[in-house]
Structure 1
Amino acid sequence: MTESPNYPNYPDSAATGHPAAAPARPSTVEGAFWAFIASTVIGLVGGLLIFGNRGSITDALRNSNRQNGGGLTDAQIDQAVTIAMITAVVIAVVIAALYLLFAFKLRAGRNWARIVLTVLTALQLLSLLIGQSTIVGYVGVLAAIAGVVMSFLAPSNAYFAAAKGIR
């Protein structure tokens, strides 16, 4: 098909029979994507580090058990710690998979993914400020904050607007 005579500079679209080209992804969106990937990897590492704390977790549970009347045997305490650790790792993996999904959708220009990642980062920061954390937690949240900031810079905003116009 030929271009409309009234709109010679109008990009190809469904009206002309040609799909519009995807907008060029700015470096700010690429940077945000990689910051969220880094935050995800750091979160997984933090989730796996729980295995190094098995002894202290077991000791804390044993002390709590003694203070509360000693209703659990050592075997039950060990089993409870194992279940808790496996559950924590499974949750970390599920959260990491969701973060990866949202990061790839952000990279593809989906504004909803940018919003979801912003909300998740805010919750991650709130969790960090309320509870105990490690240096790994601080590094992970800093990477996520960097991703949020980069995803809302002017070139990123233009990219998300252009990507929305294509759909």
Structure 2
Amino acid sequence: MTDSPGPYEAYPSGPGDVSQPSKPPVPTTINVAFYCYVVSTVIGIVSALLLLGTKDQIADQLRRANTSGLTEDQIQSAAQVALIVAVVIALLFALVYLWLAFKLRAGRNWARITLTVLTVLQVVSLAAGRGGTIVGYLSLLLAVVGLVFAYLGTSNQYINTVKQSRS
């Protein structure tokens, strides 16, 4: 009797058996980048949820810019819709950001490039004066730190090794 589990014999491996090289362990630099992106995303989600408390400010801005004679009910409805749309977009962006962080951790170079583009866009947005809060700067700082760690030497080696093992 053989050592194979179950009632069947183990599948024989012959000279044509080519085993896949195992995926290398995730280096610390990639893990640091991953956690920076995750924490940055969590901060972004919290920031988006804090937007829900700004309905009155949005309504005030709509009142000041009201040149078409909207009623108070219409202004309140528009403020509510604006908040819901902003929160939904922020949450969708956060989900994409998290997905990209997990793909980076899996060694996908395209995810690293996409995270680079998104981080650069975040820098440009804050430099242009859009969303310049302390929370926004903290989220950006973490994303930039994550970006730096994603391009360090061991991160490059890991991504290249994963790429070679997939081809």
Smaller-chain TM-score range? 0.7 to 0.9
Paired residue type of 1:117: L
Paired residue type of 1:131: G
Aligned counterparts of 1:23 and 1:32: Cα–Cα separation in 2: 17
Give the equivalent residue in structure 2 for 1:10. none
Aligned counterparts of 1:131 and 1:97: Cα–Cα separation in 2: 24
Shift of 1:61: 1.2
Give the equivalent residue in structure 2 for 1:49. 50
Provide the TM-score with structure 1 as the length reference.
0.87
Q: Which residues of 2 match residues 28-47 of structure 1 at below 5 A?
A: 28-47=29-48
Give the equivalent residue in structure 2 for 1:152. 151
Aligned counterparts of 1:80 and 1:122: Cα–Cα separation in 2: 31
Aligned length: 153
Q: Which residues of 2 match residues 93-112 of structure 1 at below 5 A?
A: 93-112=91-110
Give the equivalent residue in structure 2 for 1:9. none
Give the equivalent residue in structure 2 for 1:164. 163
Shift of 1:2: 7.4
Give the equivalent residue in structure 1 for 2:10. none
Q: Which residues of 2 match residues 2-13 of structure 1 at below 5 A?
A: none
Shift of 1:131: 2.2
SS at match of 1:97: helix
Aligned counterparts of 1:2 and 1:28: Cα–Cα separation in 2: 39
Aligned counterparts of 1:2 and 1:22: Cα–Cα separation in 2: 23
SS at match of 2:65: helix
- The answer to whether the aligner puts 1:21 opposite 2:22 as a matched pair is yes
> C-alpha root-mean-square deviation of aligned residues, in Å?
1.5
Q: Which moved more, 1:53-62 or 1:35-44?
A: 53-62
Provide the TM-score with structure 2 as the length reference.
0.87
Paired residue type of 1:107: R
Where do 5+ consecutive residues of structure 1 fail to align? 4-14
Aligned counterparts of 2:78 and 2:134: Cα–Cα separation in 1: 26
Where do 5+ consecutive residues of structure 2 fail to align? 1-12
Percent of pairs with identical residues: 48
Deviation by residue 1:7-28 (Cα, 9 ceiling, x = unmatched): xxxxxxxx75211100111100
Paired residue type of 2:73: A
Give the equivalent residue in structure 1 for 2:64. 63
Give the equivalent residue in structure 1 for 2:125. 127
Aligned counterparts of 2:87 and 2:164: Cα–Cα separation in 1: 40
Which stretches of structure 1, 4 residues or longer, exceed 6 Å deviation after superposition?
A: none
